[in-house]
Every structure is written in C-alpha cells, then in structure tokens.
Structure 1
Amino acid sequence: MPVKVGDIAPDFTLTSQNGSPVSLNDFRGQKAVVLYFYPKDDTPGCTAESCAFRDSYETFKDAGAEVIGISGDSSNSHAQFASKYQLPFTLLSDTGNQVRKLYGVPATLGLLPGRVTYVIDKNGVVQHIFNSQLNFKAHVDESLKTLQELQTV
C-alpha cells in the first residue's frame, strides 16, 4: 500500500552523502521533513529539482523543515552531486530502492524511478504528497505552500 496523506510516515535508516546513517525518526518531534524521491543524480531534471530545493533551502529552514533527497544512487555519487551543485541538505542512498518501495513511489512508464515529494509534519504525519515527473519546481512550490499552511493552523 502506498503512503497516503494522514499516514504516519514509515521510518527508515539510510546512508547520507557523507557516509553517516540518517533515520526519519531523528526528526520526529523536532521539525517537519520535506522528503523528495528523485530518479538519478546529475541528470537534467534531477539537477533542476535539487537546485530549486537548494535555492529555497533557507525558506524551508525558516518554515521549520529539513529537506532530504532520496535516490538509488550511491553515497559517493550523492557526495559528488551535492558538491558539484552546493546542495546544503542531506541526500540519502536507497541503493536497493527499499524505501522507495516502502513509500509506494510509482515508476514512470514502469521504468523510470518516480519523482514524488512528501511533506511530513514534526509529528511524523504525511501532510501532502506531490507527484510530477516533469514539473520540477512545483515540488518546491507545493512543499512550501503546505508548510506555510501548517504554520497558520
């Protein structure tokens, strides 16, 4: 079953671009998490999306959220990608696509790993899901809009 709005986000532990383990539960009770799944490091669409998150990173922090990217690439690939584009947030390596499967992120045309963003509040509840393979910047816009709505509640 794919994760839906209102669900408690499933916990996981994956390796970051600097080689350290990161668990979703590390953030529970502390801050919201914008978790974005993307197909592959250093490809045009994924670079555009990641740089859009980078360019709005301070706004995410001001909204009380941490940004985390996940793909099937290795930690070493993530380290090179983050360095090349000065990405200030965590990238996690899901080499066996276990977390992608756990969340039910669909593949595009059955082949290409999907591009889905989850906004998870600080209590671990999924508040918004945005799925678009081609509208890269909308992942950032939709996430910020959701976080702003959460702040006014």
Structure 2
Amino acid sequence: MPKPPETGTAAPQFTLPGLVLDGDTAQRREYRLGDALGGPLVLVFYPGDDTPVCTKQLCEYTSDLDRFKGLGATVWGVSPQDLDSHERFARRHRLAFPLLADTDRAVARAYGIAVPGLGLRRSVFILDGEGTVRWRHVALAGLTFQHSDTLAARLAEFAG
C-alpha cells in the first residue's frame, strides 16, 4: 500500500463525485484535484458522516471558512460515504464546503491513509497552488483532529 505523500512532493491526482450546499440546493458535480490548482487546498479526509469527532471537525472548519478563504484557501472534505449521506450530513450541520465521495476508498489508498477493514485515517493535507503537499497530518487513532488555528498557521506560512 502506498505511503502518504511526503511534504514537498506532488499530491496524487483524483476525480471524485461531490456536492456543496448552495442555499437549499445541493450542487452535485465531479471534483478534480487539478481544478483546485492556483490556490491552496485544505484536503480533509474524515472517517464518517454524522460521527461525533467528524461532525465537530467539519463544523469547526465551516465556522472558520472565511478565515481559510482569507488565506486564499479552499477546503474539501473526503470520506467513504455516498453523496446522499453527504447531503444529509451537510444539510443537518450546514456544512459550507464540498464533500467528496470516495466510496471505493481508491483516493484514500492513493494517499496512503486507507485502513483495511476500518476505512481511513483522519488526515489533513495542505496543498499549494501547484498541487504540492506543503503540510500533512495523518492521525494514528483519529479521536482528535487538527483545529482551524493549526491549519491557518500552516497556510499563513506559505500564503503569498
């Protein structure tokens, strides 16, 4: 199985179905990593919709979305659930960034964070505008998460 991409290396490319809420409408489309080039991307891999830690994590990131945008960054969430699950989760908690469905865990495997039989490791990869990994955190147990302050500090280190 691949290992997580090292800082300074290119992030694995992918295309996944995803959605983002736009008012009462869920906009569904394909998301390609290449579409995010040009500005920083905070790529958040989380184990499951509507689980306690994931809910707290994604709600915090939504609350701080303007802070991320102020640093020029986009945030995408990725988990193994399907788009219908993502839509319920996003509506229930008013999540304001795209949630992508990695139902076969191919992207989690490419990023070296898949855990056979369990899903994936809670992870955050911050990519620069060229798709290079600038910072990463891969949790061992996934019972906690990287807070917005930490992510904003890392983004500020290379935001221009």
Report whether the alignment pairs 1:27 with 2:36: yes
In the alignment, is the contact (CA less than 8 A) between 1:130 and 1:142 conserved in 2? no
CA distance in 2, matches of 1:114, 1:74: 18
CA distance in 2, matches of 1:125, 1:40: 26
Q: Aligned-pair distance for 1:151? A: 2.3
SS in 1 for 2:118: coil
Q: Aligned-pair distance for 1:144? A: 1.1
- Ranges in structure 2 where 5+ consecutive residues have no aligned partner: 20-26
CA deviation string 1:61-115 (max 9, x = no partner)? 000000000000001110111111111100000000000000001539x735210
Which structure has the highest helix share of the two? Answer: 1
Q: Aligned-pair distance for 1:19? A: 2.7
CA deviation string 1:26-51 (max 9, x = no partner)? 011x2110001000000101101101
Could you tell which deviates more after superposition, 56-65 or 2-11? 2-11
CA distance in 2, matches of 1:87, 1:13: 21
Report whether the alignment pairs 1:37 with 2:39: no
Report whether the alignment pairs 1:61 with 2:33: no
In the alignment, is the contact (CA less than 8 A) between 1:41 and 1:47 conserved in 2? yes
* Structure 2 equivalent of residue 121 of structure 1: 128
TM-score by length of 1: 0.91
Matched to 2:12, the amino acid is: P
- Ranges in structure 1 where 5+ consecutive residues have no aligned partner: none
Could you tell which deviates more after superposition, 99-108 or 36-45? 99-108
Matched to 1:119, the amino acid is: I
SS in 1 for 2:115: coil
TM-score by length of 2: 0.87
Number of residue pairs the alignment of both structures matches: 149
In the alignment, is the contact (CA less than 8 A) between 2:80 and 2:119 conserved in 1? no
Which structure has the highest strand share of the two? Answer: 2
CA distance in 1, matches of 2:61, 2:9: 24
* Structure 1 equivalent of residue 95 of structure 2: 87
- Counting aligned pairs with the same residue, the percent is 35
SS in 1 for 2:9: coil
Matched to 2:97, the amino acid is: F
Matched to 1:122, the amino acid is: G
Could you tell which deviates more after superposition, 125-134 or 89-98? 125-134
